[in-house]
């Protein structure tokens, strides 16, 4: 199933081993409510949607069509808040995107901030862009 851009998503962060080793995976479920029941349907593809989560689970969802981010992915922080990780929902793989080695000396708290009113980044050749 795929999201349709409406409603509520439940994102579950599942730990497979020690969380400091980033042994995690994610499940994304669409919450469905009708007159007689509430249920969840697991999504195996989010198309052009991208989810951004902080360590405590707060975040937001946006389309990646005109943004420089990976579609069908979840951006999240590692436990120490020292790196941005990207979980690809289709491949079920994790890459480190932005290590922040300067935070090594500090405790850090990170959050994502959506700036919906800024002009979209326009690139001349869409084929050359690798998110």
pTM of the model: 0.72
Q: Taking the CB of residue 55, how many other CB atoms lie within 10 A of it?
A: 17
* Cβ atoms of 64 and 49 closer than 8 Å: yes
Average pLDDT for 111-127: 62
CA–CA separation, 57 and 55 (whole Å):
6
Stretch 31-41: mean pLDDT: 87
Per-residue pLDDT band for 87 (boundaries 50, 70, 90) equals very high
Q: What is the mean pLDDT of residues 101-113?
A: 66
Quick one: pLDDT at residue 118?
A: 58
Query: How would residue 131 be classed by pLDDT, with cut points 50, 70 and 90?
Result: low
């Amino acid at each position: 199933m795929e999201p349709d851009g409406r409603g509520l998503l439940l994102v579950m962060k599942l730990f497979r081993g020690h969380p400091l080793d980033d042994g995690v995976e994610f499940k994304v479920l669409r919450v469905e409510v009708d007159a007689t029941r509430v249920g969840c349907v697991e999504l195996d593809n989010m198309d052009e949607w991208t989810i951004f989560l902080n360590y405590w689970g707060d975040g937001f969802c946006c389309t990646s069509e005109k943004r420089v981010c990976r579609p069908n992915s979840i951006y999240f922080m590692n436990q120490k808040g020292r790196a941005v990780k990207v979980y690809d929902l289709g491949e079920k793989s994790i890459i480190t995107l932005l290590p922040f080695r300067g935070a090594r000396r500090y405790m850090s708290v990170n959050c994502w901030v959506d700036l919906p009113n800024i002009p979209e980044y326009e690139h001349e050749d869409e084929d050359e862009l690798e998110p």
